[in-house]
Structure 1
Amino acid sequence: MIRKFCRIFCVVFLIADFQSSQSQFDNNRKNHLIPSNINGPLSLPDDALHQASIRLINKDITFGEGHICSGSLISTRVVLTAARCLFNLDFKTPRHPSELIVVMGTSDRYQRTLDTVTSGITHIRYPTSFDLESMRDDIGLLFLSREIPEKHSTIRPIELNWKITDNYVRGSVTGWDLSKNGDLSRQLLIANVSILDRNNCKHNVEQLLITKRMICGRYMREMDKRIYQSDVGAPLVIAGKQIGLASITMSNYSTLSDKLVIYTDVAYHKEWIWTELRDENNNDSSVWGLLGFLILTWFAFREKQKLSFRLCL
């Protein structure tokens, strides 16, 4: 009886390691959303000490080529990004943590220095209310397999904003944008953004549902309005605090001359983020999954040995 219980216990842990939260989306709906746009002068190191490059391991054979999204370090072991970055968009399925790595500590996407930190992922989280079509609640967390030293010279967590952001204030967003020839920029770029009234966005973009979960922004300079596909998950910062992360652009829908961009509002997701961070030290799914796998394998090996012995008799 005890042996049977142990087997069930191991199977449950093994399954839990490979199972991600369920997302809500309608496969019959066409996704018209376009990733948001960043393009500007090179940022100084102090502008983005929190910046993270999220990469696919199997694409990052040449260091830097695997970049798929940006993120921001919000604690010594947690990176904030967009939920869509945690999905395989071709199959609309959640990615396993083992598919991803996070690189921090350099603004040059291809440069590995003594200050560069590369970390695996133990587990990923995103709200069960996330919708891959409408990009509702497009926010996610990556839990790192290694802790970032508090006094690291080129990496520092950013403080999150928990208050409602005033309209028409100005902020900045950083990321690795697509250039004119379609290649990702080598250096980290920065653009200035003005926060707009949400009702203004709703009035000019009737095709998309603009909710209180979102922040509406507009690029300030002419060069920032050019329609390039760019970094999803790029942090939007005002006065040293992150207020949002790049989600979608409405360039195909807007009647405004300036390009509008939608960011996921960090303050709206305060309770969800706090809940996940509180559980940070208690949810190392990769460790439990590996332990369960090893124990399950051991039981299977023993049963095989017993079966072979009986057949020999």
Structure 2
Amino acid sequence: MDFQGFFCYSIYTCLAFQVAQSTTLAHLKSPLESQHSSEAKIINGTEALWDGTRYQVSLRLTAGEWLFGAGHICGGALISRRTVLTAAHCIWMPASNRFRNASDLSVVVGNLNRYQRDNNTLVLGVSQISVHRDYNATSYRNDVAVLHLNARVPANFTRARAIPLNGDLNLNASNTVCHVSGWGRTENGGYSPQLMVVDVAIVNRSQCATNYGALVHDGMICAGYMEGGRDACVGDSGGPLVCGEQLAGVVSFGVGCAQPGFPGVYTDVASYVPWINNVTKAYEDAGGLSDDGLGNGANGGTNDSASYNGTVNNSGVSMMSCAHALIFALCSLLMRIC
């Protein structure tokens, strides 16, 4: 390849990456956040270590994995060897007014760097999605979803472990210091290739509502600092808020990121433990994978769908994303010019 060809190839490769990354994550920015001009980012976080974050997963669009790691859209937490908890808004497509198909998604565990793929990397498909029947895409109420994987994480796979669910409904009133992790934007403005973690404190409901008002409902929990400074946001959605080695929250929404007076708002896991247990059991009873990896139903297997507590809601056909169409057009144009 001559210098001109190499130069053009480099241009459209970098351009394609930037378009795919920004387009993939842009819809996950909440309407509340878009009212502010500040960049969404994890502020004052540090690189995560394996000991404390082996439950962390990267939720990806399979169509976006033209470069391994580029399809990342959200975080999630492994809550059993075949189940992931994430946010419902990660599954929702506002432009199409529907939820994604299970076959659109994959879950990746095993590496702190989301672009790294080696013998420690485990990629699993999603067989079915359970979304809370009362999820509201405008208010972010009941912003919770369970991903049922198409295979279990092997018992001898030491790079991942399930995290227990917090069942303490009184956590909302405490000042407990917890931590949240994800691959979202950093203070440098780009999305972090390395998993980052930041400490945040639980903010009681009345204090959190000082500025949020009626936007904070039952089933939500606030964490951060009223003076701002530390938070998680775009690219971290669906990720885990962990308090005392238990999953206490799911990254949901906020106004800006680390803005004074506006701590992050999370789905309160304790409020949804019965629902999580119910949809998991229903999936197994219908023929899904149990913890031993064996199908329990007469026919075994699972269906490729998103569901409201078991009622199939989404059976659409996957389409090429806008990002990929734009990439194809730009690359074709650059090839003609070069």
TM-score, scaled relative to structure 2: 0.70
Distance 1:288 1:214, change over 3 A: closer
- Which of 178, 181, 188 aligns to 1:174? It is 181
2:42 aligns with 38
Give distance in 2, aligned partners of 1:263 and 1:56: 23
Residue identity in the other structure for 1:113? D
Distance 1:200 1:180, change over 3 A: closer
Within 5 Å, which residues of 2 pair with 1:220-299? 224=230, 229-251=234-256, 257=260, 259-283=262-286, 287=301
- Cα RMSD after superposing both structures: 2.5
Counterpart secondary structure, 1:46: helix
Residue identity in the other structure for 2:200? V
Within 5 Å, which residues of 2 pair with 1:10-89? 32-34=31-33, 37-39=41-43, 40-89=45-94
Q: Which runs of 5+ in 2 are unaligned?
A: 1-29, 35-39, 289-299, 305-338
Give distance in 2, aligned partners of 1:279 and 1:98: 20
Residue identity in the other structure for 1:38? I
**Greater C-alpha radius of gyration:** 1
Tell me whether 33-42 or 174-183 shows the greater mean CA deviation.
33-42
Residue identity in the other structure for 1:233? G
- Which of 109, 112, 115 aligns to 1:107? It is 112
Distance 1:223 1:112, change over 3 A: farther
* Paired residues of 2:107 and 2:123 also in contact (CA < 8 A): yes
Give distance in 2, aligned partners of 1:210 and 1:228: 17
Counterpart secondary structure, 2:199: strand
- Which of 88, 93, 99 aligns to 2:98? It is 93
1:207-250 Cα distance to aligned partner (Å, 9 max, x none):
x521121001114997525x863410110001100100100013
Give distance in 2, aligned partners of 1:289 and 1:144: 11
Residue identity in the other structure for 1:214? M
Q: Report deviation, 1:258.
A: 5.1
1:204 aligns with 211
Number of residue pairs matched? Answer: 256
Give distance in 1, aligned partners of 2:102 and 2:50: 28
Once the two structures are aligned, what percentage of the paired residues are identical?
32
- Which of 219, 224, 228 aligns to 1:213? It is 219
Q: Report deviation, 1:91.
A: 2.0
* Paired residues of 1:235 and 1:244 also in contact (CA < 8 A): yes
- Which of 187, 190, 196 aligns to 1:183? It is 190
Counterpart secondary structure, 1:205: helix
Q: Which runs of 5+ in 1 are unaligned?
A: 1-30, 291-313
Give distance in 1, aligned partners of 2:32 and 2:153: 34
- Which of 113, 137, 141 aligns to 1:132? It is 137
Residue identity in the other structure for 2:201? S
Give distance in 1, aligned partners of 2:233 and 2:278: 35
Counterpart secondary structure, 2:126: strand
Give distance in 1, aligned partners of 2:189 and 2:89: 21
| Runs of 4+ residues over 4 Å off in structure 1 | 219-223
Within 5 Å, which residues of 2 pair with 1:110-121? 110-121=115-126
Give distance in 2, aligned partners of 1:42 and 1:219: 20
Give distance in 1, aligned partners of 2:144 and 2:193: 25
* Paired residues of 2:254 and 2:264 also in contact (CA < 8 A): yes
1:32-56 Cα distance to aligned partner (Å, 9 max, x none):
2339753411010111100000000
Q: Report deviation, 1:167.
A: 1.6
Q: Report deviation, 1:117.
A: 0.7
